[in-house]
């Protein structure tokens, strides 16, 4: 009888290992499915006022084309880099856009507190088991937000849903508005037959002078529709060439930030501007040097980061 029970326990344990392995493989496949060439539609609509007298703003929408590259894949860590392809009077141009860095069973996330300040958050082993963190960086690879969540695969769909997280104002608003200080967000990434969708459940929070109150709720829906190889070929080819010239440099930048965030037990804070220069401009300047073949390594990157960190 004891031998039978032991054999049964081994079968159950083995089945669990196989199930976990299959789940991990499906998680990875869903993340990697977000790579490729896409037409993107960005839509944001304030839906519910949460502060007396607040009037909802007009909806925001725009379109773009993006190339999403697998910058790194180390099994339990996958980095996707977005490259924005635009048309100007001289033809296609490429802008390094945001990156998303996924890590499996990562216990560390970030809480944005306002004022370019992020607090490290440590999750328990129980909270972390089977989850992936998504760390989203800004165009210069400085932090934007990092949240923990779980992929769920049902039928023919795969969906990642984050825990509640906080982040700075989006680029579409931070230069136009000063009536709120940060976003409180739940994210979903849904893999679709022709691409993927990024859904955002946002709340706009005023956090100043001892007051914390929400202005409104906002729904965000970003649709990534996969394009054929012939669509915008010239622009995407240019993006591939530019990324090949600078990918090693931006890997140094990501590692620099990763070391800062992973080793910090105190708030991570940096200055918007130092001696009249912005961090983004400094990093882009180094990237242009790297693109011409000039050696630009961790020493130069870390020197710039040290200048802006507080």
Interatomic CA distance for residues 47 and 64, integer angstroms:
24
Distance CA(245)–CA(220), nearest Å, equals 33
Residue 187 has pLDDT above 50, yes or no: yes
- pLDDT digits over 213-228, tens only? 999 999 999 999 999 8
More confident: 18 or 294: 294
Mean pLDDT, all residues of the chain: 92
| CB distance 121 to 111 below 8 Å | yes
136 vs 88 pLDDT, higher one? 136
H or E segment at 27? Answer: helix 2-32
**What is the rounded CA–CA span in Å between residue 101 and residue 107?**
14
The owner of tokens 């031998």 is 3
What are 66-102's pLDDT values in tens digits? 999 999 999 999 999 999 999 887 888 999 999 999 9
Q: What is the C-alpha separation between 235 and 230, in angstroms, rounded?
A: 11
Q: What is the sign of the dihedral through the CA atoms of 73, 229, 98 and 302?
A: positive
Q: What is the mean pLDDT of residues 30-58?
A: 97
Structure tokens at 205: 């929070």
CA distance 201 to 218: 6
pLDDT of 229 > 80? The answer is no
> In angstroms, rounded to a whole number, what is the distance separating the alpha carbons of residues 292 and 310?
31
Report pTM. 0.91
């Amino acid at each position: 009888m004891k031998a039978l029970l032991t054999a049964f326990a081994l079968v159950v344990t083995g089945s669990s290992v196989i199930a976990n392995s299959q789940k991990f493989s499906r998680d990875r496949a869903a993340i990697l499915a977000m790579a490729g060439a896409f037409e993107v539609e960005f839509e944001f609509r304030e839906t519910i006022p949460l502060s007396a007298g607040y009037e909802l703003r007009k909806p925001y929408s725009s379109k773009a084309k993006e190339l999403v590259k697998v910058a790194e894949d180390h099994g339990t860590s996958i980095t996707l880099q977005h490259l924005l392809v635009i048309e100007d009077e001289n033809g296609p141009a490429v802008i390094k856009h945001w990156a998303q860095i996924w890590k499996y069973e990562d216990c560390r996330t970030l809480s944005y507190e306002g004022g370019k300040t992020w607090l490290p958050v440590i999750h328990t082993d129980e909270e972390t088991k089977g989850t992936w963190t998504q760390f989203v960086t800004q165009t210069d690879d400085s932090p934007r937000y990092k949240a923990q969540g779980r992929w769920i695969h049902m039928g023919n769909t795969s969906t990642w849903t984050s825990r509640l997280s906080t982040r700075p104002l989006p680029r579409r608003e931070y230069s136009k508005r000063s009536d709120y200080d940060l976003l409180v967000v739940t994210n979903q990434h849904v893999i679709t037959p022709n691409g993927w969708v990024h859904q955002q459940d946002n709340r706009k929070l005023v956090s100043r002078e001892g007051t914390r109150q929400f202005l409104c709720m906002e729904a965000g829906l970003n649709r990534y529709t996969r394009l054929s190889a012939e669509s915008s070929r010239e622009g995407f080819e240019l993006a591939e060439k530019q990324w090949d010239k600078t990918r090693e440099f931006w890997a140094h930048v990501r590692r620099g930030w990763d070391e800062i965030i992973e080793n910090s037990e105190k708030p991570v804070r940096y200055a918007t501007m130092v001696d009249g220069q912005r961090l983004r401009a400094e990093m882009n300047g180094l990237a242009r040097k790297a693109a011409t073949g000039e050696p630009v390594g961790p020493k130069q990157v870390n020197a710039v980061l040290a200048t802006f960190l507080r």
